[in-house]
Copies of this chain bind each other. A is one copy, B any other.
């Protein structure tokens, strides 16, 4: 079973959804850590229906195309729970093309390296800001009240917060790199 299947089961478990809505969901915070396009989602949903993981109800609409609303079957719920309770092995590699380029930064001019890091820094500062706004909006939705750990809101909190921490780290690293490029060297004893 592919990870996409579990992602879809998880999303449908919160609420019945159409393929279109599921694709849209990947624009939201979870899209920072998993996503899929409609060309992958629609065929996958068909398969999952055939495998009795989800029910399908066709709904006629006026002024809009008809839609297929999917909901979890008992089997789908069991399969989701099974996955949620299985340990994932942390993969050795988190592919990041910029980190690969960084590995070869000794090969380029100092100016070019600076340009690269400045571009990266701007990207990640932008994403950090978006995430922080998203967190602020989320906190306001909760009206300052606590988020209970056995609710769907907790999951959202966890991923947004992780996104923020990750982007802060990226920003900090870019700034350090720019500093090292300015002085032309790293004095490693600083970081022991």
Contacts and interface: CB of A to CB of B under 8 A. Distances in A.
Report copies per complex.
Answer: 2
A51 interface: no
Contact of A31 (B35, B92, B166, B168): B92
B103 A155 contact: yes
By DSSP majority rule, is chain A's interface helix, strand, loop, or mixed? helix
A76 to B, nearest CB: 12
A49 interface: no
Contacts of A98: 88, 90
Residues of A in contact with B, size category: 35 or more
8 contacts: A6-B101, A7-B100, A32-B93, A84-B107, A88-B101, A142-B188, A146-B186, A158-B177
